[in-house]
Amino acid sequence: MKQKQIILSPLDILILLKIISLKDKKWLQIDLAETLGISQSEVSKSLKRLKTSWLLAPNNSIVIMRDNVLEFLRYGVKYSFPQRPGSIVRGIPTAHSAPVLSNEILSSENYVWPYAKGQTKGQSITPLYPTVPKASLDDKNLYELLALIDAIRIGNAREKELAYKKLKKRIILGEYNN
């Protein structure tokens, strides 16, 4: 019998980051689905892929394999989900333009996720998943994690290293700025 190849999707990373952003709060699949604007079946399939990939423990509980997650985000996300800045649009700041990095990295260029209700103009960055802009407005911790991931996806060496250090603080220690 042939075994089907498991391939992570950007949605899987979004769901994983949402779980991390909740810290130790209890949640249900329906909660993730509603806050991320996706179906519960998508959440279920994603959790299976995350367990197969050892980003979540492969048993029936939800245990984040934090070292594995950090390693994948540091070295794999930029290759699995590459991104190049696009045209100037209105949106939500991301990468070094987001509040989580903007005080430490000065740049004349803004990067944004395209979003009609956004207040900032900048080069467009395609978010990991289409619902990212809205979901990030409702969850500051998730927003920080996603912006840091974008800094790794598109940043220079200094930006990537700073983003990694901040991700490590949030993923391993659960420390956020709020």
Q: What token pair was written down for 106? A: 């000065």
Instruction: Determine the Cα–Cα distance for residues 67 and 33; give it in Å rounded to an integer.
Output: 25
Residue 178 reports pLDDT greater than 60: no
Instruction: Tell me the pLDDT tens digit for each residue of 127-161.
Output: 999 999 999 999 999 999 999 999 999 989 999 99
- Residue 1 is predicted with a pLDDT of 62
Instruction: Tell me the pLDDT tens digit for each residue of 44-66.
Output: 999 999 999 999 998 877 899 99
- Residue 45 is predicted with a pLDDT of 95
- Residue 49 is predicted with a pLDDT of 94
Confidence of residue 72 (pLDDT cuts 50, 70, 90): very high
- Residue 177 is predicted with a pLDDT of 67
HEC assignment per residue over 59-97 = CCCCCECHHHHHHHHHHCHHHHCCCCCCCEEEEEECHHH
Confidence of residue 98 (pLDDT cuts 50, 70, 90): very high
Q: Give the mean pLDDT of the chain.
A: 92
